[in-house]
Structure 1
């Protein structure tokens, strides 16, 4: 994957309707996606050469998304607040340029607001996957 513009990584929130429509949640300046898989160690006294053995397909997979920036409008801010306070698992779409799109249910784990006296108010959020995710490769 060649170098990509960080600003092109997008985070979109689904509206919960059928068909579902997704909109950008805010003007995020920093964004990250972390994909994790827990391992299940099945090493035993007869493991070849004493090397650790892992059981393929047995661990729990999980995705975390975080971002920080500014809300682009009052509707986006209100929607994020509503989803957080209702503790609702909503569909989110994460578009990673040069990689693909990850989509599925996430819960907002953190929703933070900050501001300095001589700068704009900012927000940050953290999402944790809440079910199976789909991946569509780019290209």
Structure 2
């Protein structure tokens, strides 16, 4: 497998169109980004009933899955960013896709858990945002 460019790790915001197919567009300006897939561990350890004083083997099973995306970069004014900021201002769930190059696409409901605008006197306005899945995501492997 070839190396993948970090800049192609994308989040696309859905336009909410109904009826008909929803259109997803890149949230532009993101320079630094990450996508986290994690699962909690549920302890299933049972001490040996025949030899309770003997060694105990820890066992576990997967628990709650978590999917999160974060990004930061230049704030670029556009129709997509306007719609995105409206979702942030209203603390609402929206549809989005996270495209992980070389892996696949995760699509579903998301919400923003943390958002910040920053800016220097002589620089452009920047932003950072953290997203969490608001429901079960659909995964389509890259072909």
TM-score, structure 2 as length reference: 0.87
Q: 1:39 aligns with which of 35, 38, 41?
A: 41
- Which structure 2 residues correspond to residues 36-115 of structure 1 after superposition, within 5 A? 36-46=38-48, 50-56=56-62, 59-115=63-119
Cα displacement (A) at 1:95: 0.7
Q: Any conservation in 1 of the 2:105–2:140 contact (CA below 8 Å)?
A: yes
Q: CA RMSD in A?
A: 1.8
1:23-34 to structure 2, matched below 5 A, reads 23-34=25-36
Which residue number in structure 1 is paired with residue 123 of structure 2?
119
Which has the larger Rg? 2
Aligned partners of 1:75 and 1:111: how far apart in 2? 18
Question: Residue 6 of structure 2 aligns with which residue?
Answer: 6
Question: Helix, strand or coil: the match of 1:50?
Answer: coil
Deviates more, 1:41-50 or 1:75-84: 41-50
Structure 1 stretches of 4+ moved >6 Å: none
SS in 1 for 2:135: strand
Query: How far has the Cα of 1:71 moved from its partner?
Result: 2.9
Distance 1:100 1:49, change over 3 A: farther
Once the two structures are TM-superposed, the CA of residue 76 in structure 1 deviates from its matched residue by 2.8
Match of 2:22 in 1: 20
Contact 2:13 2:80 in 1 (8 A): no
Q: Which runs of 5+ in 2 are unaligned?
A: none
Aligned to 1:51, what secondary structure does the other structure show? coil
